[in-house]
C-alpha cells in the first residue's frame, strides 16, 4: 500500500525543501493535504527569501523562569509583537531551569531512556538538524537520515523490544507524523491507528 509513498530529500538552499516536496508529490490532486502543505511551504520560503530571513539560522535563545525575557530572540517568531507578549505572559516560552534540563541530559547519558522512542525522535529531528551534524552521523541527506532512524524504530517495534505501552503510544504518534514520507509497509495511517488503539486499550480517552 505504501510502497508508492514519496521519499523526500530536504535541502538547505532557498526553495529546495518546497521544490523537493512538490516534485515527490507530483500526480496528487491539488486538493490533497500534502499538495496544500507543499504550496504553503513554498510560499513561506519565498517570503523568507525576499525578506532576507533565513529560518534555519534563527531560533529562541535559552532563558529561565526568573527572567523569562533574558536572551529571547523574537525575530524567529514572525508574529505580531502584541501576540508575542501575550504568549510570553502565558508562559509559552518558559523552559525549565537549566539545571533541570541538564538532569534530562544526564538521564539520557546514563542510559535511562527508551531506544525505540529515541529512534523515533531522531527520525523527526533529522528534518531540522544541520547537515554537518547529519554528515557526522554518516548521512549525506536528510531523507537518508530520516529513513534510517525510522527503519530502526520500526524494527524495534516489530520485534516487540519496547514493552511500555505509554512509550509505544508516544513513538506511534511520532511515527504517524513522519512515515508519510517514508515508503514502508506500515504507513502513517497504521501508526495513527496504533496510537488510538493503545490509547483506548489504556482507557486514556476516559480521563
Residue 80 lies in a domain: no
Q: Which domain holds residue 157?
A: 98-206
Confidence class for position 53, pLDDT limits 50, 70, 90: very low
Return the DSSP state at 12: S
Residue 175 lies in a domain: yes
Residue 75 lies in a domain: no
What does the pLDDT average to over 28-37? Answer: 54
Residue 93 lies in a domain: no
The grid cell for 146 is 530520516
DSSP assignment of the chain: -GGG-------SSTTHHHHHHHHHTTTS-TTSHHHHHHHHHHHHHHHHHHHT--GGG--PPP--SSSTTTT--GGGT-S-HHHHHHHHHTTTT----HHHHHHHHHHHHTT-S-HHHHHHHHHHHTTTS-HHHHHHTT-SSHHHHHHHHHHHHHHHHHTT----HHHHHHHHHHHHHHGGGS--SS-HHHHHHHHHHHHHHTTGGG-
Burial of 62 (0-12, 13-18, 19+ CB in 10 A): exposed
Domain count, the chain: 1
- What rounded mean pLDDT belongs to the chain? 74
User: CA angle, corner 118, sides to 113 and 123, nearest 5?
Assistant: 175
Residue 69 lies in a domain: no
What does the pLDDT average to over 167-184? Answer: 84
Return the DSSP state at 44: H
The grid cell for 13 is 538552499
Can you give the pLDDT at residue 74?
Answer: 54
Tell whether the model's pLDDT for residue 13 goes beyond 80.
no
Residue 37 lies in a domain: no
Tell whether the model's pLDDT for residue 4 goes beyond 50.
no
Tell whether the model's pLDDT for residue 140 goes beyond 90.
yes
pLDDT higher for 168 or 69? 168
Tell whether the model's pLDDT for residue 166 goes beyond 90.
yes
* pTM metric for this prediction: 0.57
Confidence class for position 104, pLDDT limits 50, 70, 90: confident
Alpha carbon distance 180, 34 (integer Å): 9
Residue 193 lies in a domain: yes
Residue 103 lies in a domain: yes
Amino acid at each position: 500500500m505504501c510502497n508508492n509513498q514519496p521519499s523526500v530529500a530536504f535541502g538547505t538552499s532557498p526553495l529546495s525543501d518546497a521544490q523537493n516536496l512538490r516534485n515527490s508529490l507530483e500526480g496528487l490532486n491539488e486538493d490533497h493535504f500534502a499538495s496544500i502543505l507543499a504550496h504553503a511551504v513554498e510560499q513561506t520560503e519565498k517570503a523568507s527569501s525576499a525578506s532576507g530571513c533565513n529560518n534555519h539560522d534563527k531560533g529562541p535563545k535559552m532563558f529561565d523562569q526568573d527572567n523569562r525575557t533574558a536572551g529571547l530572540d523574537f525575530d524567529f517568531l514572525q508574529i505580531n509583537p502584541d501576540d508575542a507578549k501575550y504568549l510570553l505572559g502565558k508562559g509559552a516560552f518558559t523552559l525549565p531551569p537549566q539545571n533541570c534540563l541538564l538532569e534530562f541530559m544526564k538521564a539520557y547519558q546514563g542510559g535511562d531512556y527508551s531506544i525505540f522512542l529515541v529512534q523515533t525522535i531522531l527520525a523527526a529531528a533529522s528534518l531540522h538538524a544541520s547537515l554537518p551534524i547529519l554528515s557526522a552521523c554518516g548521512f549525506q541527506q536528510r531523507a537518508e537520515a530520516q529513513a534510517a532512524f525510522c527503519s530502526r524504530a520500526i524494527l524495534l517495534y516489530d520485534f516487540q523490544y519496547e514493552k511500555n505501552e505509554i512509550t509505544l503510544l508516544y513513538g506511534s504518534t511520532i511515527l504517524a507524523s513522519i512515515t508519510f514520507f517514508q515508503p514502508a509497509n506500515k504507513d502513517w495511517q497504521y501508526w495513527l491507528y496504533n496510537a488510538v488503539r493503545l490509547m483506548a486499550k489504556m482507557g486514556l480517552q476516559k480521563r
